[in-house]
């Protein structure tokens, strides 16, 4: 039995939530579609679909299998046209994850040009503050800043991200402008933690190659980048953020950089991707485009 045909049948059943509708669309007997699904479940060793008299839904394993089928079929389609494919003919899905501020303020404003140049590409852009599981969740690449954890992923360094300390004009008018590290005892720091309830963080700066910390009081702790910036704009306290993520706000005067002579160490920025012998051309093209775009913002 044709494994690729079975995968295509499975995808249509999953998307249409119906064996009958999938069979009609594929111009196949319903029994053939059912046989395809049984074949895949036997070969994968797990149930892929929940079947009731009213509907068909994906199991948890089925959801993972569905995502991988989309990627594999797209790569097979790309293989068929490997030696005659131009940039405009690239097609398939790309799934990428990156920090919220980078996505919103840097990447998304430039995406129309990329997508117009590659109309066959479908991009799934995740921008959360949690660390996604690249392999399990089926990401083609992710953008990460900071120290890398031990990983089986391939790391491509793009540069370094400058960190700055910011406050709103209203906050500075009320509390004054901190000019030395010692002034911070009279200021508030907006605390950021991915997990609320974690130990309070500190304000950091680098001195003679050594990272130093200053404990600061703060009335608010947040767990995502959007709230972090919003709290600063509201005048609640100081924040330490990547300059590239708030450049538009500093240029507009909505945020003001302070303590520029006491900056934190820059964060290395990487593109991480799974170890694959043959990476899909569409992913290579996107990674090269993203790398070129970010070089304008990185040191």
pLDDT at 240: 93
For residue 233, is it within any domain? yes
* 238 secondary structure, DSSP code: B
For residue 4, how many other CB atoms are within 10 A of its CB? 11
Query: If you average pLDDT over every residue of the chain, what do you get?
Result: 86
Whether residues 276 and 239 fall in one domain = no
pLDDT at 153: 82
- CATH code at 17? 1.10.10.10
For residue 17, is it within any domain? yes
User: Is the per-residue pLDDT at 76 higher than 60?
Assistant: yes
Whether the CB-CB separation of 266 and 147 falls below 8 Å is answered with no
Q: Which residue has the tokens 């995406």?
A: 111
Q: Domain of 143?
A: 85-158+271-294
For residue 299, is it within any domain? no
- CATH code at 196? 3.40.190.10
pTM beyond cutoff 0.85: no
At residue 210, φ and ψ (nearest 5 deg) are -115, 130
Q: Which of 51, 79, 107 is the last residue of a domain?
A: 79
Mean pLDDT check: name the lowest of 86-90, 184-188, 220-224, 227-231: 86-90
Calpha distance 235→110 (Å, rounded) = 30
Within 8 A by CB and 6+ apart from 52, the residues are none
User: Is the per-residue pLDDT at 1 higher than 70?
Assistant: no
Whether the CB-CB separation of 289 and 114 falls below 8 Å is answered with yes
Q: Give residue-wise pLDDT tens across range 213-232.
A: 888 888 899 988 889 999 99
Q: How many domains are there within the chain? A: 3
Calpha distance 178→173 (Å, rounded) = 11
Whether residues 213 and 259 fall in one domain = yes
pLDDT at 278: 60
Q: Which of 32, 47, 79 is the last residue of a domain?
A: 79
Q: Which of 58, 79, 100 is the last residue of a domain?
A: 79
Whether residues 241 and 170 fall in one domain = yes
pLDDT at 163: 92
Mean pLDDT check: name the lowest of 108-112, 153-157, 162-166, 206-210: 206-210
């Amino acid at each position: 039995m044709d494994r690729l045909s079975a995968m295509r049948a499975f995808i249509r059943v999953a998307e249409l939530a119906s064996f009958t509708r999938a069979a009609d669309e594929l111009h196949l007997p319903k029994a053939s579609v059912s046989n395809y699904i049984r074949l895949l479940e036997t070969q994968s060793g797990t149930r892929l679909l929940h079947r009731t008299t009213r509907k068909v839904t994906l199991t948890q394993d089925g959801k993972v299998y569905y995502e991988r089928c989309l990627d594999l079929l797209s790569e097979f389609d790309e293989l068929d046209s490997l030696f005659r494919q131009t940039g405009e003919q690239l097609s398939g899905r790309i799934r990428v994850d990156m920090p919220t501020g980078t996505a919103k303020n840097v990447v998304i404003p430039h995406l129309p040009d990329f997508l117009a140049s590659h109309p066959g590409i479908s991009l799934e852009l995740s921008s959360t503050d949690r660390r996604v599981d690249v392999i399990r969740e089926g990401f083609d690449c992710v953008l990460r800043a900071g120290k890398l954890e031990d990983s089986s992923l391939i790391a491509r360094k793009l540069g370094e991200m400058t960190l700055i300390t910011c406050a709103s004009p209203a906050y500075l008018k009320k509390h004054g402008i901190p000019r030395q590290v010692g002034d911070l005892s009279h200021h508030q720091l907006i605390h950021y933690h991915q997990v609320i309830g974690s130990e309070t963080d500190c304000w950091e700066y680098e001195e003679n190659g050594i990272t130093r910390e200053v404990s600061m009081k703060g009335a608010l702790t947040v767990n995502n980048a959007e709230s972090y910036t919003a709290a600063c704009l509201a005048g609640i306290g100081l924040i330490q953020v990547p300059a590239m993520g708030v450049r538009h706000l500093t240029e507009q005067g909505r945020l003001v950089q302070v303590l520029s002579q006491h900056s934190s160490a820059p964060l290395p920025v990487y593109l991480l991707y799974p170890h694959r012998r043959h990476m899909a051309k569409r992913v290579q093209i996107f990674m090269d485009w993203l790398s070129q775009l970010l070089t304008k913002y990185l040191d």
